[in-house]
Amino acid sequence: SAAEKGGYDYFMLKEIAEQPKAVADTLLGRIDAAGSLTLDEVRIGAAELREVDKVVIVACGTAFHAGLIAKYAIEHWTRIPCEVELASEFRYRDPILDRQTLVVAISQSGETMDTLMALRHAREQGARVLAICNTNGSTIPRESDAVLYTHAGPEVAVASTKAFLTQLVACYLVALYLGQVRGTKWGDEIRDVVRELSRISREVERVLETMEPVRELARSLADKDTVLFLGRHVGYPVALEGALKLKELAYMHAEGFAAGELKHGPIALIEEDMPVVVVAPSPRGRSVLHDKIVSNIQEIRARGARTIVVAEEGDEAVVPYADHLIRIPVTPTLLQPLVSTVPLQVFACELATARGNEVDQPRNLAKSVTVE
């Protein structure tokens, strides 16, 4: 009913709008006044966590994209090697696991069969399993050694939005916690990031306040056949997520690529006026990456692409090559997906509406996939 949707036309719109609160709720009570992480729920003891020599993340769909982003954070802040794998592939390839492996299973519903089978297999091999889950008491957390709940609240729309943002928050918390427990040379950086994380909900809100041009742009592209998404570093999984949202909602051909892969094949796809969304990394710090994305944007534009660039406020270098510019707030590099994903959700939702699609219940899809 309209009341359940809180005055929004679709659950998805309501859930997109709820993201600042969902992010804040997921952080609540997990960072103390001194800026230390207090994750008592992670019942795996400090001694055991210090012995972990590999993290393996398993998940499906959007949750898998959260895992891809987590890898950058975990490896950077903890120096523990981290693999991310689609749960459906992991289970059937005889993965190497033992008691020093920490398996992180990410799932909104907690009922996804592929993810459940992957974690059962991991536990049989002696690995510890930590679930990141949004649904209290569901099967995946029940069968795990520990669970870090995301507090997104119920997500009704089939397309995951607020659950994804809170999965990211939970992943950052796990990465930072592992860094804290094990001690790392990034102590100062970790303190800064924790501080930024506490402020990030406000930044997500600011992004939501500036989405009208994105909706307008989406409507203008309703008759297109293909949209490509490019990113580098954590922007690459964001590109994959932007493409997944567009497939499931707008039923358009959408693909995400690592921008560095362009000349290894995908650039052949570019045609006159084809929309290409580029997620630009921050121009600060890792400026090498930023220079590279600027040349990628130039390359595709020279071949006729209509460039839609998601870039930080103050990033002037992309301006000459952006047919459309979507501004996001300045954030630490690893946290950028919390703000850069939001415009892509809004974009997909609006495009779906413009094409007359059922936003909350896309064809052929179920909210929770309980078969393998």
Nearer to ligand AGP, 243 or 274 (CB): 243
Q: How far is residue 17's CA from residue 14's CA, in Å, rounded to a whole number?
A: 5
Q: How far is the CB of 100 from ligand AGP (least distance, A)?
A: 26
Three-class SS state of 56: strand
Give me the active site residues, please: 367
When asked if residue 150 is in the footprint of ligand AGP (CB under 6 A), the reply is no
When asked if residue 107 is in the footprint of ligand AGP (CB under 6 A), the reply is yes
Q: How far is the CB of 60 from ligand AGP (least distance, A)?
A: 4
In terms of Cα–Cα distance, which of 179, 155, 180 is closest to 167? 155
Sheet holding 324-328, edge to edge: 253-258, 226-231, 275-279, 306-312, 324-328
Q: How far is the CB of 157 from ligand AGP (least distance, A)?
A: 8
Q: Which of 19, 88, 101, 108 binds ligand AGP (CB under 6 A)?
A: 108
When asked if residue 250 is in the footprint of ligand AGP (CB under 6 A), the reply is no
Q: How far is residue 154's CA from residue 3's CA, in Å, rounded to a whole number?
A: 15
Q: Which of 13, 27, 52, 158 binds ligand AGP (CB under 6 A)?
A: 158
In terms of Cα–Cα distance, which of 201, 160, 193 is closest to 175? 193
Q: Which stretch binds ligand AGP (CB under 6 A): 59-67, 88-96, 120-128, 191-199?
A: 59-67
Count of CB atoms situated within 10 Å of the CB of 316? 8
In terms of Cα–Cα distance, which of 205, 108, 197 is closest to 151? 108
Nearer to ligand AGP, 108 or 296 (CB): 108
Query: Which H/E stretch holds residue 357?
Result: none
Q: Which stretch binds ligand AGP (CB under 6 A): 153-161, 191-199, 212-220, 309-317?
A: 153-161
First to last CA, the chain: 32
When asked if residue 63 is in the footprint of ligand AGP (CB under 6 A), the reply is yes
When asked if residue 138 is in the footprint of ligand AGP (CB under 6 A), the reply is no
When asked if residue 88 is in the footprint of ligand AGP (CB under 6 A), the reply is no
Site residues for ligand AGP per CB under 6 A: 60-63, 107-109, 112, 115, 158-160, 248, 368-369
